[in-house]
Amino acid sequence: MRLLFFIFLSRSESSSPIMSETGLIQRIRNPPQPPTPILACSKLVVCVMPIAQIAIGAVYLHDCPRQHYIPIYLIVVGVFGLVLALLSCLPCAQEPKDGPSNPLSRVCATWNSLTSVFMFCWFIAGNVWIYSIYEPNYNKNTTNVDPYCNKTLYLFAFWTTTLVYILLGVGLLCSCCVLFCFFLCGRADPDDV
């Protein structure tokens, strides 16, 4: 394992000049942009979930008397997620590379910040509404007075919310692994003594 690490280290040193910390920081601040078709496809993929949330929330709007805020939660999360995804495509959302920022980009940044704070608070409220009734009665029965919640609506809301936590955990784990690798690479550098 150490042999592979040193081979990788010597190969990276021989293929490029020694990377200074300022070059690495500059690369982190201004990452290379992926090609336009890849950006367009990723935007379409990101827009699929909000559209599905809006559709399922609207179709089953009155099918969860047990917790009537769940379909409203899905609709609002879908609309704001779609708005954020579409606004990120506008030229005002990108910061200028050099020179002062224009007032329109400050307005876009403020709007994105306020929307993100609202989305976080709305997500917490949705967690309370969804997880507080776990596992609801799925059967709509006219003789039973126990409130129900449509199975498709509830399970979709449950798993989209749970997916956020799963992705957050995977991102945190990957970040820790990257930091650990940076720590190992920094320890192996003989110039750091």
- 82 found inside a domain: yes
- 35 found inside a domain: no
Q: Quickly list H helices, the chain.
A: 2-15, 21-29, 36-59, 69-87, 103-131, 151-188
Whole-angstrom CA distances from 23 to 20, 27, 78, 147 are 5, 6, 39, 61
pLDDT at residue 21 is higher than 60: no
Cβ-contact 62, 90 below 8 angstroms: no
Better pLDDT: 66 or 144 = 66
- 127 found inside a domain: yes
- 32 found inside a domain: no
- 3 found inside a domain: no
Cβ-contact 70, 154 below 8 angstroms: yes
Confidence at residue 153, expressed as pLDDT on a 0 to 100 scale? 97
Contacts 24+ apart (CB under 8 A), 56-59: 56/152, 56/153, 56/156, 56/157, 57/153
Whole-angstrom CA distances from 112 to 83, 95, 108, 180 are 10, 13, 6, 32
- 165 found inside a domain: yes
Residue 186 sits in which domain range? 45-93+101-192
**How many Å apart are CA 70 and CA 50, to the nearest integer?**
15
- 142 found inside a domain: yes
- 34 found inside a domain: no
Number of domains forming the structure of the chain: 1
Confidence at residue 16, expressed as pLDDT on a 0 to 100 scale? 46
Confidence at residue 9, expressed as pLDDT on a 0 to 100 scale? 43
Confidence at residue 133, expressed as pLDDT on a 0 to 100 scale? 94
Q: Can you tell me the mean pLDDT for 57-77?
A: 96
